[in-house]
């Protein structure tokens, strides 16, 4: 457990303080940069900042869940998904730089909150742990679908990143369901959507 805590602390530092790295090529990297006007660019920056913030939260959530998961197979699946989320972190971070934007100033706060949620979900048991993961990823998938509607049509590079992220998040939810995720009560899912809405509105600007 001590070794795992050290590893996860190192992961936390790298998530918040070091550039993320991806083993997969950034989706859309071969596409030309679009000529966006100022309002289009600011909208793309805001949306990609929200997506980057969401990946910071995903890193913390998966870490907390893996730390408290009881089954080795479930823990391994969570860690594999976390590695893919690291790639999303790298893609959104790179795209923000290309657009001339910055990441959210509130990322450390989001990270701590998501880590606490992940630990709490894991303590409840693997079925509820996976249920929380499945519900989260379904919400993220819907959120990314809405971003595809809001991103400027000309910004094909951002759109390619968001589309690949959406596909990956859907697969993570399917994975959780396949491992026996419990269905969360409706009030819990409503609360999750409310919290996600607050984070989205703040991260879009701050």
Q: What is the pLDDT of residue 105?
A: 83
- Residue 106 is predicted with a pLDDT of 81
> Would you say how long the chain is, in residues?
206
Domains by residue range for the chain, with CATH: 2-8+38-205 (1.20.1260.10)
The low-confidence residues of the chain, meaning pLDDT below 50, are: none
User: Which residues fall within 8 angstroms of residue 92, CB to CB, at 6 or more apart?
Assistant: 48, 51, 52, 55, 161, 165
pLDDT of residue 178: 85
Looking at residue 40, its pLDDT comes to: 92
pLDDT tens digits, 104-147: 888 888 888 777 777 777 777 778 878 888 888 888 888 899 99
> What pLDDT is stored for residue 5 in this prediction?
54
Burial 79-93 (b: 16+ CB within 10 A, else e): eebbebbbbbbbbbb
Residue 54 has a pLDDT of: 84
- 34, 157 Cβ separation under 8 angstroms: yes
């Amino acid at each position: 457990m001590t070794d795992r805590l050290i590893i996860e602390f190192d992961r936390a530092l790298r998530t918040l303080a070091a550039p993320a790295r991806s083993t997969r090529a950034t989706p859309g990297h071969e596409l030309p940069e679009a000529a966006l006007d100022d309002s289009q660019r600011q909208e793309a920056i805001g949306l990609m900042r929200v997506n980057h913030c969401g990946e910071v939260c995903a890193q913390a959530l998966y870490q907390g869940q893996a730390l408290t998961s009881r089954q080795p197979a479930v823990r391994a699946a969570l860690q594999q998904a976390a590695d893919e989320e690291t790639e999303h972190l790298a893609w959104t971070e790179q795209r923000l730089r290309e657009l001339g934007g910055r990441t959210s100033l509130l990322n450390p706060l989001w990270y701590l909150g998501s880590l606490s949620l992940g630990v709490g979900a894991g303590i409840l048991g693997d079925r509820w742990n996976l249920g929380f993961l499945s519900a989260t990823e379904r919400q993220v998938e819907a959120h990314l679908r809405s971003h595809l509607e809001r991103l400027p049509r000309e910004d094909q590079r951002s759109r390619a990143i968001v589309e690949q992220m959406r596909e990956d998040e859907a697969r993570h939810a399917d994975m959780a369901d396949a491992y026996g995720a419990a269905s969360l009560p409706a009030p819990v899912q409503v609360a999750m959507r409310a919290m996600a809405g607050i984070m989205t509105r703040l991260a879009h600007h701050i």
